[in-house]
Amino acid sequence: MTKINDKIDDFELLTDVGKFNLKENIDKNLVLFFFPKADTTGCTKEAISFSELIKEFDNLNTTVIGISRDKLEKQIKFKSKYELKCILGSDVDNKICSKFGVWIEKSMYGKKYMGIQRSTFLINSQGKVYYIWDKVKVPGHAEEVLKKVKEL
């Protein structure tokens, strides 16, 4: 599990705007919000909330990327359907979710299964984890993340 002050190793992620890798974007802050599934109620609300604040994040030299295990095509449709402004990444091979420790065992109606724990990581421009939100509740979350970015 990734912890505060951990230095993040370079990684590559397929996104709706092309390949993203940390090494080439290290001069910016980075918000990674992990969500369970594109185009579901909570995930849609979360992505819209970040999108509504994207100009403020941009003004603070911060890139915002939402990540799920959905295929890239689904992420692109999701972004288009809701006119989302944040970048969306596809982690179908589970490398990044595992790296950040958000791929966990969950339980619903007594059945256990593996899934993404809704979590957000703020990585500063030195490539270190500045703050972590786990078990995220969507209402007010994007605003809380923006407030924390302003501390950097």
Q: What is the mean pLDDT of the chain?
A: 94
Q: What is the pLDDT of residues 81-98, one digit of tens each?
A: 999 999 999 999 999 999
Residue 5 inside a domain? The answer is no
Residue 132 inside a domain? The answer is yes
Q: What is the pLDDT of residue 100?
A: 95
- Give 31's contacts (C-beta < 8 A, 6+ positions apart): 50, 57, 62, 63, 64, 65, 120, 121, 122, 123, 145, 149
CA nearest neighbour of 34 among 68, 84, 79? 68
In whole angstroms, give the CA distance from residue 94 to residue 90. Answer: 9
pLDDT at 25 over 90: no
The CATH number given to whatever domain includes residue 100 is 3.40.30.10
pLDDT at 23 over 90: no
SS3 (DSSP) at 29: strand
Residues marked active site are found at 43
Residue 7 inside a domain? The answer is no
In whole angstroms, give the CA distance from residue 30 to residue 25. Answer: 9
Residue 41 inside a domain? The answer is yes
Residue 133 inside a domain? The answer is yes
Domain count, the chain: 1
pTM of model > 0.85: yes
Q: What is the pLDDT of residues 103-121, one digit of tens each?
A: 988 888 989 988 899 999 9
pLDDT at 26 over 90: no
- Are 87 and 64 spatial neighbours (Cβ–Cβ below 8 Å)? yes
Instruction: State the residue range of the domain holding 92.
Output: 12-149
